[in-house]
Structure 1
Amino acid sequence: MPLADAKQSDAPAKRERAHAGAVRVVAPARLHLGFLDLNGDLRRMFGSIGLAVDVPRTELVLKRSQTFKGEGPDHARALATLRKLADAYKLPAGYEVKVTSAIPAHAGLGSGTQMALAAGAALMTLEGIDHIPSRLGEMVNRGARSAIGMAAFEQGGFIVDGGRGELDRAPPILVRADFPPAWRALLVMDASTAGVHGEDETNAFAALPPLPADAAAHICRLVLMQLAPGLMEEDIAAFGDALTEIQKIVGNHFAGAQGGSPWTSPGVGRVVGALRAAGGVGIGQSSWGPTGFAFAPSQEIARRLYDSAIEVARREGLEILIAEGRNRGASVEKIANT
């Protein structure tokens, strides 16, 4: 949705300004599990595989104010979105945002998209403006390569998008399915390292050679004939084997931009290796990392895997989280002004 179009929509905002108090938004992190096609000879690029998870998460409360002000982790990102949208919709007041929790920045968990969408959805809801997360994401410059962050915000679950084509819009969502409720993801977190981001990310993508077409074709076959069916039939062995193979192909392709390793954080790679040795499946790194992951078929087995690797993680200065898949999108609710 172009900003010029948005500026025509200030009338509904003015009608609703008498409505109430504040808005709370809770948005899920997302794992980026790999790309479908980094070759591009079919005139589409990328194609992403993703999963919404319940932790970590971004939570904020927005209310009107005489000025723009914020507090809490990563609130500057929220304020930037609020200023941009307030200008686009010609909203007369300022806003106060309080961020009570934030997905770690540059960890491969979609922090920027979730913060922007959370702030944007809070503003739209507070002012009574109809909105669609994908269009809102485009307005705040999200979805340049992937739509899974926007889909995670809107719907949650397991997501596959169709990559960027010739149209100037976010990629279409091809698959959206519930993640099996019993399954767990173990996330290996390294707070001391940041994944490639910003201009460095743009330059890294530009420098990567095309993935061979046969490798891209193999990934697409793995997704269509093993990964997605394994998830839908709750066959974690099939799901895990496919994901590990996809991550091997994509990780090796990106290694040149990550110091020659498929792992941004070598320590994360060692801990994920320990989880795999103890029985974890579907191992890999989310996006540019440093967050790594492994999957387990139940909370009990996830806890056992956690116990088997936590001492290794602590020696590396890392943290392990046990996450559930989140099969719904962000929660957005009006609350009393505080």
Structure 2
Amino acid sequence: MAIMKIRGGDLDLVEYEFISFSPGEKIRPCGLKKDYRLNPVSGTVVVRAPARIHLTVLDMNRFSPDHAGGGGIGFAIAVYCTAEVECTDSGIEIDYTREPILRHFVEAFRQVVGYEGGFKIRARDHQHEHVGLGSTSTILTAVGHALNTAVGSPLTSDQLRLLIGCNFVEETTTGNVAFAFETGVGPAATIHGGMVVMGDELALVYRHAFAVGKQVYIAIPSSDISSAGEMEFDLLMNKARTLDYRDRELKSYLVLMDLIPALERGDLRKAGDVIWEIEFRGSKRAEVEHHGFEIYRYMAALREAGLEFVGMSSVGPSIAVITDRPEDEVAKILAGVGLRIAIATTVDNEGLKVQERA
């Protein structure tokens, strides 16, 4: 794997070696491993989990591919991943296109709870990978809750978030896995719904219903810039870290003093103003500029058209618009800047759903 250089300032230059490994190796139990009373259920556990829009990390200097954290804000959307799990006598059978990332988490879960049987797993994601909608974290959260329910729910949702975050991986072209970036925003939004604010070390600081009765429209601009792998690493661990040294206090202040009060009173326009300010601050600026200034041109045009809430998700290029305007009007505004509605949906304010099927 590649050796990447991380620069956070003039006196802050280190090297990070991406080390890939086989799924099931390098498991991190997070202090959760103990004797649990397991009670495997009969039948199939089905989980439906909402995807997320990740609006910003609070401080890129507080996380890396092998250290979850950094804080952040994001919200769940009514675009879903599903997981079905059955307990079996032995073996791990996985029906999913990105099998290595699931196999790694399944092994982490089995080791922590002490389950010695097998699983039959079927997972389906939302088919929008590496465009900022959190396909990896959402499917892991769905599968994690299905596994947990299937063996009698030994772990709490917070413990599952911790286990997912500390064992978060992406697959390599050779079928191995490598530790990846994880703030914890995705699993928290997926589990609880609404808007979430995360602190460092995967701490859930705040959750509130968001944009009730409003529509969410997602545009996915074309981009030939990768938002995954080495390109993502170079972006997040260099320019983004430098900018967050400067702006992390301001971003945190905006979230605490402006965004949270706006959420409390249901003021979508004020929340949109805060997010628009953050788009130009710290690591978020680095993420947007990663795709070129065209993304700023798109978002500025949408703001000038009067749309209340506009923000790019994660490392992009997906742009989320929230408004109470009708779809045909929003489609016309988007068409005016060369975009189209890729997804029309709402905020999911309820979070994932679990059911058992005989």
Q: How many angstroms does 1:93 deviate by?
A: 3.1
Aligned counterparts of 1:131 and 1:201: Cα–Cα separation in 2: 32
1:151 counterpart SS class: helix
Q: How many angstroms does 1:330 deviate by?
A: 0.9
Aligned counterparts of 1:27 and 1:273: Cα–Cα separation in 2: 31
Q: Answer yes or no: is 1:104 the counterpart of 2:128.
A: yes
Q: Answer yes or no: is 1:12 the counterpart of 2:37.
A: yes
Which string of whole-angstrom CA distances, capped at 9 and with x for unpartnered residues, describes residues 174-232 of structure 1?
22111131123221135876752345433433222522666333323322232222222
Aligned counterparts of 2:257 and 2:273: Cα–Cα separation in 1: 12
Q: Report the equivalent of 1:23.
A: 45
Distance of aligned partners of 1:302 and 1:79 in 2 relative to their CA distance in 1, 3 Å threshold:
farther
The amino acid across from 2:156 in the alignment is I
Aligned counterparts of 2:265 and 2:111: Cα–Cα separation in 1: 47
Aligned counterparts of 1:332 and 1:278: Cα–Cα separation in 2: 40
Q: Any gaps of 5 or more consecutive residues in structure 2? A: 1-26, 63-68, 169-179
Distance of aligned partners of 1:281 and 1:80 in 2 relative to their CA distance in 1, 3 Å threshold:
same
Q: How many angstroms does 1:23 deviate by?
A: 0.4
Size of the aligned set, in residue pairs, is 311
Q: Report the equivalent of 2:85.
A: 62
Instruction: Please identify, of 121-130 and 232-241, the stretch whose mean Cα deviation from structure 2 is larger.
Output: 232-241
Q: How many angstroms does 1:246 deviate by?
A: 0.7
Q: How many angstroms does 1:127 deviate by?
A: 0.9
1:3 counterpart SS class: coil
Aligned counterparts of 2:134 and 2:142: Cα–Cα separation in 1: 12
Q: Answer yes or no: is 1:293 the counterpart of 2:320.
A: yes
The amino acid across from 1:253 in the alignment is A
Aligned counterparts of 1:236 and 1:51: Cα–Cα separation in 2: 13
TM alignment of 1:31-42, pairs within 5 A: 31-38=53-60
1:92 counterpart SS class: coil
The amino acid across from 2:86 in the alignment is K
Aligned counterparts of 1:294 and 1:231: Cα–Cα separation in 2: 16
Aligned counterparts of 2:118 and 2:139: Cα–Cα separation in 1: 18
Contact 2:54–2:313 (Cα < 8 Å) also in 1: yes
Instruction: Please identify, of 69-78 and 146-155, the stretch whose mean Cα deviation from structure 2 is larger.
Output: 69-78
Q: Answer yes or no: is 1:177 the counterpart of 2:201.
A: no
The amino acid across from 2:115 in the alignment is L
1:160 counterpart SS class: strand
Q: Report the equivalent of 2:236.
A: 205
Contact 1:107–1:194 (Cα < 8 Å) also in 2: no
Q: How many angstroms does 1:109 deviate by?
A: 1.8
Contact 2:73–2:196 (Cα < 8 Å) also in 1: yes
Q: Report the equivalent of 2:195.
A: 158
2:253 to 182, 197, 221: 221
Q: C-alpha root-mean-square deviation of aligned residues, in Å?
A: 3.2
Contact 1:247–1:283 (Cα < 8 Å) also in 2: no
The amino acid across from 2:202 in the alignment is P
TM-score, length-scaled by structure 2: 0.74
Aligned counterparts of 1:124 and 1:254: Cα–Cα separation in 2: 35
Q: Answer yes or no: is 1:188 the counterpart of 2:219.
A: yes
Aligned counterparts of 1:235 and 1:4: Cα–Cα separation in 2: 38
Q: Report the equivalent of 1:244.
A: 276
Q: How many angstroms does 1:286 deviate by?
A: 0.6
1:58 counterpart SS class: strand
Aligned counterparts of 2:98 and 2:218: Cα–Cα separation in 1: 21
Which structure shows the bigger proportion of residues in helix conformation? 1
Contact 2:243–2:281 (Cα < 8 Å) also in 1: no
Distance of aligned partners of 1:6 and 1:46 in 2 relative to their CA distance in 1, 3 Å threshold:
closer
Aligned counterparts of 1:89 and 1:191: Cα–Cα separation in 2: 43
Identity %: 24
2:342 counterpart SS class: strand
Q: Report the equivalent of 2:185.
A: 148
Aligned counterparts of 1:87 and 1:252: Cα–Cα separation in 2: 40
Q: Answer yes or no: is 1:232 the counterpart of 2:264.
A: yes
Distance of aligned partners of 1:129 and 1:174 in 2 relative to their CA distance in 1, 3 Å threshold:
closer
Aligned counterparts of 2:108 and 2:124: Cα–Cα separation in 1: 22
Q: How many angstroms does 1:96 deviate by?
A: 1.9
Contact 2:227–2:315 (Cα < 8 Å) also in 1: yes
Q: How many angstroms does 1:307 deviate by?
A: 2.6
